[in-house]
Structure formats: C-alpha cells, structure tokens
Chain A
Amino acid sequence: DAGVIQSPRHEVTEMGQEVTLRCKPISGHNSLFWYRQTMMRGLELLIYFNNNVPIDDSGMPEDRFSAKMPNASFSTLKIQPSEPRDSAVYFCASSSIALGQADQPQHFGDGTRLSIL
C-alpha cells in the first residue's frame, strides 16, 4: 500500500519566494495533518483537516502560511513570502478517525526538507 506521499523531498529557495509543499494522504483516510520539525522546537502541529475541512489552524505561525485541501486526496501548504526562519522539515500525516475511534494512529510521510536562504 502506498503511504503518505509528500513532494518535493527537498526545497531550497531564496527568502521572499513562494513555497508550496504538497501531500497525498493514504486513500480512505479522512484526516490530514501538517507538522513542522526543527531542532529547537521539535514537532509542531500546524493545521489539521477532517473531511477536507480545516478544524484547527491555531498552530499556523502567521499569515504567511496557508493550507488547503481541495479534495480528499490532496493538500498543500504554502508559505508566501518565505523567510529563513521557516527552514525546517515539514511533515504531512493522515489518519482515519471515526466516531469512537479517537486512538487511530497517524501515518507520516517522509517530509519535505525546506531551506530558505
């Protein structure tokens, strides 16, 4: 079975440029999560969707970050304009959450390593 697929795996760009990260969740999963991982702050939840609807975006650092999920099989995380402090590894995860099954695990992609120069 295909897992969570993220692209690109690596992105290097100059500050001020727009960056778009992409995620394809596991087929049949109805929840999708975007995380950021840095040495200083560890893993941070940025936003999560349930049935394509954003449920909690309180972790999005500022207005430069936006996320969309136009359908059940695709999501994007966009940074515009990008800044050097946005450099991190960004992970997408998906899960199948149904009523009464709150303990379903999340399945992670291999991440996008983003470097903003």
Chain B
Amino acid sequence: AQSVTQLDSHVSVSEGTPVLLRCNYSSSYSPSLFWYVQHPNKGLQLLLKYTSAATLVKGINGFEAEFKKSETSFHLTKPSAHMSDAAEYFCVTRSNTGKLIFGQGTTLQVKP
C-alpha cells in the first residue's frame, strides 16, 4: 500500500537559512508525489508535484524537491527561508484508486 511518512513534526529555522522538510514514501510502483502547504485558516495549496518526468521538481515560492528512488525519499527544500514560509507542510501521495494519502504534516517555524 502507498504511504508517506514525514520525519519531523516540527522544524524551526532562522530567516534567510535553508529549509529541509523530510518525507519518505512507500509504494509498490512509481508513485505520484506532491507537497502541499497550509497557512493558518486556509486550505491546502499545491507547492509542487512529481510524476516521473524529472527527479528534481521545482515548485512555487522557491521550493523544490528531489525524488530519490534509492532512498525512497522526496524531501522539500528551499535555499533561504522567508517569514511568510511559516506554515504546515504536507507530503502527499496517491493510492492506486486515486485517493490522496497525506502525511501527518510538518510545522515550519521561521524565526526573525
């Protein structure tokens, strides 16, 4: 069965420093993987998606993620954090019936 595991429930960085949010996946076939962001009192917004076209995926707001099959990972990175990046981030995959499967989320705190 497909699943994703977000390795950190909470990450804290200083403004201007790199961001790394970790996600491992489990899948019996080439997965579809997504990162979504949720700001307070808002719905989820798609940051980027992996669909096997390229292992390095660039998303909005300077985020990118790299698909590593050997490590079954799809970590989200950003070179320099902004205060506006503070939010909840979800790593997501899709089941073979089309349902989205969400990780438990990582809260990103950005300190001034």
Question: Which residues of A line the B interface, CB within 8 A?
Answer: 4, 33, 42-43, 45, 48, 56, 91, 93, 97, 102-103, 105-111, 113
Contacts and interface: CB of A to CB of B under 8 A. Distances in A.
A33 B36 CA distance: 16
A97 B100 CA distance: 13
B97 A109 contact: no
A102 B42 CA distance: 25
Interface string B74-112: 000000000000000010001001111010110000000
A105 B49 contact: yes
A4 B44 CA distance: 11
B32 A45 contact: no
B98 A109 contact: no
Contact of A110 (B36, B43, B46): B43
B51 interface: yes
A105 B42 contact: no
9 contacts: A48-B99, A56-B99, A93-B44, A102-B32, A103-B32, A103-B94, A108-B36, A108-B44, A110-B41
B25 interface: no
A108 B105 CA distance: 16
Nearest to A108: B43
Contacts of A45: 99-100
